[in-house]
Every structure is written in C-alpha cells, then in structure tokens.
Amino acid sequence: MKTTVTQRVVLGILSFFLLVYAAVQVYRFVKGQYKTETVYSYTVSENLRVNGVAIREEEVLEDTIDDGIATYLNSNGTKVSKGTPIAEIYDNRQDAENVRKLRELENKREMLEKAQDPGTTSFAHTDVLNRQIYSELGNVIDLVNSQVLTDLKDSSDQLLVLMNTKQIATGKQTDFNDAIEHLSTEEEYLKNMIKDPPRTIDAPKAGYFVSAIDGLEDAFDIDALSELTADKLSEFINSPQEVDSNKIGKLMTYQYWYYAAVVPQEDITNFKLGASVTLDFNIVGAEPVPAVISYINTDPELGNVVIFKCDYINDVYINLRVTQADVNFKNVTGLRVSSSAIRFMGAQKGVYTVLGNKLVFRPVTVIHEDQGFVLCRENDTEYSVPLEQFDEVVIEGTGLYNDKQLK
C-alpha cells in the first residue's frame, strides 16, 4: 500500500517536471525563432501645438494712477458689478501700508469676535467642529497643491475661525476679549497715522476686473473674427505692443473669450467646425480649458486661422495674451501592440499570438496609429475570439500561419 502511494507521488512529481520541461522547450523555441511582446491597455492624446493670441472684449478704464500708489481691492478675474470699488489711490506709500495693516487687524478682530459669538458657540458640537476643521484643512491643502491661491485666504480664515470656536466650545478658552481689545488699540493707532484718505475708483460697468494693460485690448473686433487672417494674427504675435502703465486697469465685459491660432496647411484637416476640444496652455497649477472651434478661416496661400471659444475665467487665463497651446482633440484607449506585429490573413488585419504550443491568428480593429505602434479596439465584439490584454503577440519572425505548431 505504501509502495503504491509512493509510486503515485513519484509519478506525479515526474509528470510535473516533464510538463515544465516541455513548456520551457516551447518557450525557448519560440524565443529562438520569434520575438514576442505582451499586449497591454494604453491611452494616447491626439493633440497639436499651436501659437496664438487670446482675444477678449475689454474696456480700458480711464482712471489713472498718476503719481499716487495704487492698491487693488479685487484680484484679477473677479466679477464686479457697476459701482463696485476696485482700487484705491494713495498720495504716499506709508498711507497705503498703514491701511493694509489696519485691514489685516480688523479682519483678525472680526474672526475672534465670530469665534466667541454665543450664536456660534452655543450650537457647536465637538464632533461637528472636528469634521468641519478636517474638511476645511483639506480645502487648504488642495488649494496649495493645485497652486490656485486666489481662494486660499478665505479658506485659511475659515479654518482659523473653526479652530478658535472649538477652543471656546471645549472650555479651553473662556473668551478672546484681551486679544480683541489689543487689536482694537492697534487699529486706533494706525487710523491716527493715516494722513490722507485714498481716492476710490469704482467699476463703471459690470465685468471681470484685470489690473494689467498689455496694449492689445482694442486690437481685435470680436464681431469680425470670421475675417481674421493669418498675416494679421502673425503680426500681433511677433510685434511688441506699447503699454500705458498709468491706467488703473481694464474690464472684460463679455463672459466668453477666444483663442485665435495660426495653423499650417498640413494640419488644418484636424480641425472641425463646432468640435469640442481642450486647450492646455502648460501653466503649472492650471487645468486645460474646454473650448469649441467657432471659426476656421482658411487660405492655402496666406495661412489658416482657427478660433476657439472659451468661457472659463480665472486669475490666470484672464491675463493670457500671446501664448502657445496644445489642442487636445480626444483621448484614445486601446490595446497597444508594435506596428511590426500587424499581419494579414487574406484581407483581414490581425496579429499572431502564442497560445500554448501553437500560433493563433487574432483579428484586430486598429483605432489609432502612432510612431512604432498601434492601438487596437478592446473587447472587440466584432470577433468571436478577440485580442486581449496580456496576450503574447509575435513582433518578429517568418513563416507565420494560423495553428502553426511550436515544437
């Protein structure tokens, strides 16, 4: 009985090693005759780099800084309504600095008053405050990581209020009256140091405020973009503009803006009127901008102009003017194989895969061609046994045919 069991164990081990040996021999044979690679899923972006100009409907404000010191009350890209204060002009730098410090102190005092307000603390529960603190802390971290700092102050202030409120709610701090009184004393001191009140400049109409002037505000007529030519656009791209630095700023008065780019004749067929794309201006911390192709002005001799319409506005994009952009048409995902793996069985395009000890032809549908490789459709329902991820395909070798035995 023991002998029989022992024999079976020995035979099992021998069978296993024979199978391994056979597999190794097939592998060595295949590697010797053919070069293979593993199929995997891959995504490519179809894009094209262009050079162009951002075009906006803008109105330069008539107010001037002259010999004064300007401080701005709104960040670039802020939407303002008619009559909104947008800037203050001081006669001297010291007054401007004292007002800045005064407002910082006022903000600190108001946050402490809010934190100890009975209306805030009487309904504050520790677990709720903890969740709010962690949530706001996450917002601050996200803003820092994305380098979008326009909202950082508001989030930081809110985080400080929540942390101070928790101090009151948990009894670790009775109140902030001493700190509030100290801040109030400093405020009064600074108020007495300010010699002359500033001249306030209000927005003459609604729009998006921008503090910088670049000289191209009136260069393009938005109502005539269909007539914009490549030679005129190239002229503005290559010619520096004179800037009146004495102006206080400008307003973007239309919610949409445009990006006009010169496109070579060999690339113009990539652009379709009305198509949705994204524009990547390769600015750190700034996401690509969704856009629609609104105009395609073609001229085989003078050049082509493609104009994109955008509606996303922030402090970065509202200051764009002459700049390059990557036009991303679409992302394509498929099974990546080397171009040399593509073979034909009659008129059918496909690849040869290694399946056990034989070669098997797998038909494919090529959805993207690139330099040195192609992408094939994944889960291709057109074929009963399609190419799959992790298949081994032959990329070098001769004498290939379906069901060829590998010795």
User: Under CATH, which number does the domain 49-58+219-243+253-331 receive?
Assistant: 2.40.30.170
- C-alpha distances in Å from residue 177, one per residue of 116, 120, 147, 167, 168: 9, 16, 36, 14, 12
pLDDT bin (cut points 50, 70, 90) of residue 29 is very low
pLDDT bin (cut points 50, 70, 90) of residue 120 is low
The average pLDDT across 210-217 equals: 88
The length of the chain in residues reads: 407
pLDDT of residue 1: 47
- The identity of residue 225, as a single letter, is L
pLDDT of residue 203: 94
Residue tagged 């009985």 (tokens): 1
SS3 388: coil
pLDDT bin (cut points 50, 70, 90) of residue 229 is very high
pLDDT of residue 98: 87
pLDDT of residue 11: 63
pLDDT of residue 350: 95
Give residue-wise pLDDT tens across range 310-353. 999 988 899 999 999 999 988 889 999 999 999 999 999 999 99
Domain 19-44+333-405 has CATH 2.40.420.20: yes
pLDDT of residue 330: 80
Structure token digits, residue 300: 């085989």
Those residues whose C-beta lies under 8 Å from the C-beta of residue 91, and which sit 6 or more positions away, are 68, 69, 195, 196
Domain edges within the chain: 19-44+333-405, 49-58+219-243+253-331, 85-201
- The share of the chain scoring above pLDDT 70, in percent, equals 87
Give residue-wise pLDDT tens across range 355-387. 988 999 999 999 988 889 999 999 999 999 999
The average pLDDT across 284-295 equals: 90
Does 176 have pLDDT greater than 50?
Answer: yes
Note the pTM of the prediction, 2 decimals.
0.64
pLDDT of residue 30: 46
Give residue-wise pLDDT tens across range 137-173. 887 787 677 665 666 777 777 777 777 777 777 778 7
